[in-house]
Amino acid sequence: MKIRFSAPRDEIRSDLETVAHALKVLFGFGFGVVLLFFVFWWDARLDSPFAETGPTEIIQSLLLLASSALFFLEARRSPETRNALILAGGLLGCMLIREQDYYFDMIAHGCWKWPAFALAGVCLAQAARSPRQTLAALAKLIRWRYFPFLLSGVVIVLAYSRLFGMSALWNPLLPDGDWRPTKNAVEESSELLGYAFIFSSALLLRRGKA
């Protein structure tokens, strides 16, 4: 009798754990959306909304810095995916450097490219030392259950926010010349959402969520 009823109990427990996990993820996303809304509301009420030195830009940089650091830290303790995590951390690090172009331009226009190239070169050189291991590490990272979080965040930042932040899109919609604040609001808030996805993936990876 114990054998007959143990399987259903295990299945019920597994189903409950799956539902509970989904509810936790849903709660996490809901809480994150509320936080993003308050950041948007805060920035929109400033005299210069969504400026380079505003709260949205600062939080974007902090999320990128934390995400890149988490990927590099995880690379130290995960030999099987080390090269893939180094590449991911390097990509996020280059994105972080690019986000600081406002400050780098105070030194020289386009100055951000040189530290970004240097970081990219170091990470690519590390990955090129063992191509077979790098390929296997990338495949394992892609099979990770939360990889879509990372991929979605990167796509939102590099594609969605850029496309929906094009002046050619907003100028016809707001022909009176008041389109730039709206464009900046949509572009920067989209980037912030993407960085939130990336940070969530980095946090889950560091916590060892398979």
Q: What is the pLDDT along the chain (210 residues), one digit of tens a residue?
A: 444 444 577 788 888 888 988 888 888 888 988 999 999 999 999 988 898 889 999 999 999 999 999 999 999 999 999 999 999 999 999 999 999 999 998 999 889 999 999 999 999 999 999 999 999 999 999 999 889 999 999 999 999 999 988 888 888 888 777 788 888 899 999 999 999 999 999 999 988 755
Centre a 10 Å sphere on the Cβ of residue 111 and count the other Cβ atoms it contains: 16
CA distance 111 to 108: 5
Segment holding 110, helix H or strand E: none
Domain locations in the chain as residue ranges: 52-206
CA distance 52 to 117: 23
| pTM (global) more than 0.75 | yes
Centre a 10 Å sphere on the Cβ of residue 100 and count the other Cβ atoms it contains: 17
Segment holding 175, helix H or strand E: none
In the chain, the largest separation of any two C-alpha atoms, in whole Å, equals 78
